[in-house]
Amino acid sequence: MHQESLGVHYILDLFFCNVDLLNDSTYVISSIKEAIFRANANLLEDVKYEFTPQGFTAIFLLSESHISIHTWPEKEYAAVDIFTCGAHTKPNDACNYLIDVLESKKPVKTIIKRGEIL
């Protein structure tokens, strides 16, 4: 018996990002909120923690699951997880938007189907 997946989990490794953008948490948070809109998802709550001297972690709770980001400006790198469920969501649109706005010169996208029984 084949069951469709319950959700899809995109894992983005964003290498060689624009350092100035990664250091601007306000810009990144705003960009993720736009990515949530583009994914046709619904933001419930978000939390952010800034590290010293740079970098931050933010998690966005969605009614469809979550998006998280962890930045390492000193490495020109950001790790992003986008996990959504529901046929109405477009997580790949969110991924492509974040790749563009963080100016990643070497994005690596991994896609995992969640809850799928083969």
> How much of the chain is helix, strand and coil, in % rounded to 5?
25, 40, 30
DSSP 117: -
- Which of the residues 9, 17, 25, 85 is marked catalytic? 85
pTM: 0.92
The pLDDT tens digits of the residues spanning 100-114 come to: 999 999 999 999 998
The domain ranges of the chain are 7-114
17 is an active site residue: no
Residue 70 annotated among the catalytic residues of the structure? yes
**pLDDT digits over 13-42, tens only?**
999 999 999 999 999 999 999 999 999 999
Between strands 106-114 and 7-15, the pairing is antiparallel
Residue 66 known to be catalytic:
no
Q: Name the fold adopted by 7-114.
A: S-adenosylmethionine decarboxylase (3.60.90)
Spot the catalytic one: 17, 65, 95, 104. Answer: 65
Instruction: Name the strands in the sheet holding 43-50, side by side, starting at the edge strand that comes first in the sequence.
Output: 43-50, 56-62, 65-72, 77-85, 7-15, 106-114
Tokens of 116: 């799928």
